[in-house]
């Protein structure tokens, strides 16, 4: 039996509607996959909290006295250190009050206070701290006669990274720096941080 033109037109329009529905579903599926990829990339990069970097950039000697005439040589030092906290995160890093421990040949010789503060998103916060240290050590006589004294600074900043003002993640910034003091010129020659 021959089909009428009306039946043929109806079948053709149904096929067109079916193709449009399939095309629409394909577009929706592609859009959903695209959204999943965007959300995954966002979660893996922006929402991942990294540990900030805490370093000493420079040290200025304000006052330096040594005494090698006694049985126990001594060193008295007052310095100003410029510290930095580099925040690589897409959110604020608020850290608590802390201290920098100054060490000479394994012996703690002083602490320097670090006030609590905030490092902005993907920025570096600079702060100036002042420290007074005193040591009396039998090895100090050799270092003083060589003209150089090496000091280490160790610290941990504890704080939280606030991602998108919704998520808080605890992170700490570690400092382990070494600097050499030229005793004759009363300057710091070399600062290295790990």
CATH code for the domain in which residue 128 is found: 2.60.40
pTM reported for the whole predicted model: 0.77
Alpha-carbon distance values, 176 to 20, 74, 112, 152, 189 (Å): 65, 24, 14, 7, 17
Number of domains the chain is built from: 2
Do 82 and 100 lie in one domain? The reply is yes
User: Band of the pLDDT at 129, cuts 50, 70, 90?
Assistant: very high
Strands 74-86, 124-136: pairing is antiparallel
Exposed, middle or buried by CB within 10 Å (0-12, 13-18, 19+), for 129?
middle
Do 122 and 155 lie in one domain? The reply is yes
Do 100 and 156 lie in one domain? The reply is yes
Do 41 and 117 lie in one domain? The reply is no
Do 95 and 9 lie in one domain? The reply is no
Q: Whole domain around residue 180: which residue ranges?
A: 53-193
pLDDT of residue 6: 66
Rounded mean pLDDT, 69-83: 89
Per-residue pLDDT tens for 41-63?
Answer: 888 877 788 999 999 999 999 99
- Are the beta carbons of 130 and 95 closer than 8 angstroms? no
- Are the beta carbons of 100 and 108 closer than 8 angstroms? no
- C-beta neighbour count of 160 within 10 angstroms: 17
Do 116 and 31 lie in one domain? The reply is no
Per-residue pLDDT tens for 150-184?
Answer: 999 999 999 999 988 788 999 999 999 999 999 99
Residue 127 pLDDT > 90, yes or no? yes
Q: CA–CA separation, 60 vs 159, rounded Å?
A: 28
pLDDT of residue 1: 47
Do 34 and 111 lie in one domain? The reply is no
Q: CA–CA separation, 151 vs 132, rounded Å?
A: 13
139: Cβ contacts below 8 Å, ≥ 6 apart: 105
Do 168 and 189 lie in one domain? The reply is yes
Do 163 and 100 lie in one domain? The reply is yes
Rounded mean pLDDT, 70-98: 93
For 186: left if phi > 0, alpha if psi spans -120 to 50, otherwise beta; the answer is left
- Are the beta carbons of 193 and 173 closer than 8 angstroms? no
Which tokens in the block code for residue 106? Answer: 């394994």
Do 188 and 135 lie in one domain? The reply is yes
């Amino acid at each position: 039996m021959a089909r009428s033109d009306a039946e043929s037109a109806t079948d053709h329009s149904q096929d067109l509607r079916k193709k449009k529905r399939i095309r629409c579903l394909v577009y929706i599926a592609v859009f959903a996959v695209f959204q999943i990829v965007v959300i995954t990339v966002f979660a893996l990069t922006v929402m991942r909290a990294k540990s900030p970097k805490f370093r000493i950039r420079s040290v200025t000697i304000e006052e330096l006295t040594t005494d090698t005439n006694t049985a126990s040589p001594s060193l008295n030092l007052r310095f100003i250190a410029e510290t930095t906290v580099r925040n690589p995160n897409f959110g604020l890093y608020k850290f608590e009050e802390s201290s920098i421990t100054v060490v000479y040949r394994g012996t703690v010789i002083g602490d320097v206070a670090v006030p609590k503060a905030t490092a902005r998103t993907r920025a570096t916060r600079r702060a100036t701290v002042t420290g007074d240290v005193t040591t009396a050590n039998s090895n100090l006589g050799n270092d003083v006669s060589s003209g150089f004294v090496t000091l280490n600074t160790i610290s941990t900043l504890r704080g939280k990274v606030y991602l998108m003002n919704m998520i808080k993640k605890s992170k700490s910034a570690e400092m382990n720096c070494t600097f050499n003091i030229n005793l004759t010129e009363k300057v710091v020659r070399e600062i290295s941080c790990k």
